[in-house]
């Protein structure tokens, strides 16, 4: 597994996913680096590597579904769905005001065991919202994975929620 982690770091570096400089994040906060995960999740080689790593980690856990919040995690969840042969759930940020008005796209049955994935976490707020959506619809979140954790509180927030968040990489892997 350590070799695959090194391969993933190399792929992310080669594709300039982690950029250093001065950046303003969506929260308005200033940062010395930017994690451009959209660049990563649109690359088939990176997606394949992430799907391979997470699929191996969840093998034998009795997982029924793989889920990802829109937008960044959907390609990752889709790649894992294809690799692990698990049905896919997509979690919207909010219910749409037309059509079926669903917050979760895909078939979540009561008691389904779900693995949640995310592209990048800071505090983990969007992923925690996705967990609430799954739990409110009677699904059970087994574990959560993130490709890159910015090391700004997500792990602690998940620990407080009682769910293990496993980063494949943290920002320290690039410094």
The response to whether 42 counts as a known ligand-binding position is: no
The response to whether 126 counts as a known ligand-binding position is: yes
d(CA 159, CA 162): 5
The response to whether 49 counts as a known ligand-binding position is: no
The response to whether 81 counts as a known ligand-binding position is: no
The response to whether 119 counts as a known ligand-binding position is: yes
The response to whether 118 counts as a known ligand-binding position is: yes
Q: Is 42 exposed, middle or buried (0-12, 13-18, 19+ CB in 10 A)?
A: exposed
The response to whether 120 counts as a known ligand-binding position is: yes
d(CA 72, CA 148): 12
DSSP three-state, residue 73: helix
The response to whether 122 counts as a known ligand-binding position is: yes
The response to whether 96 counts as a known ligand-binding position is: yes
d(CA 84, CA 161): 26
CA 122 to chain centre: 12
The response to whether 125 counts as a known ligand-binding position is: yes
Q: 158 φ, ψ to 5°?
A: -70, -40
147 closest CA partner among 90, 59, 79: 79
The response to whether 114 counts as a known ligand-binding position is: no
For the annotated binding site for orotate, the residues are 122, 150
Q: Binding site: which residues?
A: 92-93, 96, 118-126, 150
Binding-site members for 5-phospho-alpha-D-ribose 1-diphosphate are 92-93, 96, 118-126
């Amino acid at each position: 597994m350590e070799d695959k982690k090194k391969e993933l770091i190399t792929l992310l570096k080669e594709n300039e996913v982690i950029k250093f400089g001065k950046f303003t994040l969506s929260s308005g906060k200033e940062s010395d680096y930017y994690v451009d995960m959209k660049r990563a999740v649109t690359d088939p080689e990176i997606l394949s590597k992430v799907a391979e790593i997470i699929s191996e980690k969840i093998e034998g856990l009795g997982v029924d579904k793989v889920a990802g919040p829109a937008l960044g995690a959907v390609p990752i969840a889709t790649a894992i769905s294809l690799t692990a042969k698990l049905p896919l759930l997509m979690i919207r940020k909010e219910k749409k005001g037309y059509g079926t008005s669903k917050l979760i796209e895909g078939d979540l049955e009561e008691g389904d065991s779900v693995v949640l994935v995310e592209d990048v976490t800071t505090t983990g707020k969007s992923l925690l919202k996705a967990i609430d959506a799954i739990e409110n619809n009677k699904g059970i979140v087994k574990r959560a994975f993130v490709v890159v954790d910015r090391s700004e509180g997500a792990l602690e927030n998940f620990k407080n929620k009682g769910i293990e968040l496993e980063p494949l990489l943290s920002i320290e892997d690039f410094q």
